[in-house]
Amino acid sequence: MRSFGMLAVLFIVARTADADFAEINAAVNTSIDKGELPGAVVLVWHRDKIAYKKSFGQRMKLPEPTLMSDDTVFDLASLTKPIATALAILFLIEDGKLRADDPIAKHLAAFARKDTEAITIAQLLTHTAGFIADNPLKDYQSGKERAWQNLFTLNPTQAPGSKFVYSDVGYILLGAIVEKTAAMPLDEFTRRRIFEPLGMKDTGFLPPEAVKKRCAPTQKREGRWMIGEVHDPRAYLLGGVAGHAGLFSTGDDLAIFARMLLHNGKHGGKVFLREETVRLMTAPRKVATAKGSGVRTFGWDMATAYSSNRGEVFTPGVSFGHTGFTGTSIWIDPPSQTAVIFLSNRVHPDGNGNVTKLRGQVATIAGKVWAKGLLQ
């Protein structure tokens, strides 16, 4: 009888959660029916527990239809920037090996020249260094050594610090700074310093074969499906490990990461990241944009043209998040102790999916559930 009673309680809780978040179910299923994505995993974290988690649709349409599951591993694309690269930089700042206002030339000697000597790490972190969004793909097609030579000769196209321009180049260079300062590859540093200590067992670059079996495919490259292989072509040509893309993870692992930030750097009752480092990372920083002004942090978006996944409820300039090209996003709202994690492989199978609107809808619904006091 005791077991039956416990199951009954769990069933009631589950039904209540489903009722509260029924609009998410409808929104995601409608988008799948429209062909905007093959499937998704949505997780809402609130006050130290999973308030909602559900998988939708298919993990894979081709080559063999496969249902989505909660433990699906996704190519995070640009979520790599805050979760791996920016946090790695913040750890090195915490260790006293870097300063946010350091000129990048101090750590990458190739930039000790007139056009680049004033660019700082802080400007790379906030996309205000003046670099273009991406240098041409041909710059990467003659091997890694030549690719880095091409990157190290780039000059800003506008005055450093003058304007926000979302730049993969800037984060690729931040990855290089991590490797030079830590004296180890970016994937190894982030594994040792971030993912293993947090218990994010399915998170990292270059997923091993055992993890690849649960990876959501993206598109075809060179005659094969990209399954556990980074979708971004520049990251791929750099060997699958880069500061702007290449990270893989699950909804559950990202919930662990969000919980750590919501706890001001604590994990498992211990200090994982100092509280002042969390504040440094998440402090709002005004940036000039094409439409006036916006707000970024060291790694995260707060209020720019890239923050549609915030939805309509969470507070601009206080909450923060990021999106990924493959169809991923996370938004974290400290005032409500809520994180909304949306993971999809919207580029599968043909690259034509679109979840921009859906990610915002999901965050809005989750925010309204919290605002109505339904999340306890």
Position 222 pLDDT exceeds 90: yes
Position 9 pLDDT exceeds 80: no
User: Residue 11's pLDDT band (boundaries 50, 70, 90)?
Assistant: very low
Entry pTM: 0.94
Structural domains in the chain, CATH included, are: 2-371 (3.40.710.10)
Q: In the sheet where 39-46 sits, what is the strand order?
A: 66-67, 49-60, 39-46, 338-344, 328-333, 320-324, 301-303, 292-296, 285-289
Round the CA-based radius of gyration of the chain to a whole number and report it.
Answer: 20
State residue 131's pLDDT score.
98
Position 12 pLDDT exceeds 90: no
What whole-number percentage of the chain has pLDDT above 70? 94
- Dump pLDDT digits (tens) for 334-372: 999 999 999 999 999 999 999 999 999 999 999 999 887
- Dump pLDDT digits (tens) for 116-142: 999 999 999 999 999 999 999 999 999
State residue 316's pLDDT score.
87
- Dump pLDDT digits (tens) for 154-212: 999 999 999 999 999 999 999 999 999 999 999 999 999 999 999 999 999 999 999 99
Position 83 pLDDT exceeds 90: yes
Position 4 pLDDT exceeds 70: no
Least confident of 63-72, 76-85, 182-191, 284-293: 284-293
Mean pLDDT across 45-70 = 96
Contacts of 198 (CB under 8 A, 6+ apart): 256, 257, 260, 267, 272
User: Residue 247's pLDDT band (boundaries 50, 70, 90)?
Assistant: very high
User: Residue 16's pLDDT band (boundaries 50, 70, 90)?
Assistant: very low
State residue 20's pLDDT score.
80
State residue 18's pLDDT score.
63
Closest CA to 153 of 137, 165, 174, 169: 169
Q: In the sheet where 74-75 sits, what is the strand order?
A: 74-75, 247-249, 204-205
298 touches 90 (CB < 8 A): yes
- Dump pLDDT digits (tens) for 296-341: 999 999 999 999 999 999 988 899 999 999 999 999 999 999 999 9
Residue 114, judged by CB atoms within 10 A of its CB (0-12, 13-18, 19+), counts as: exposed
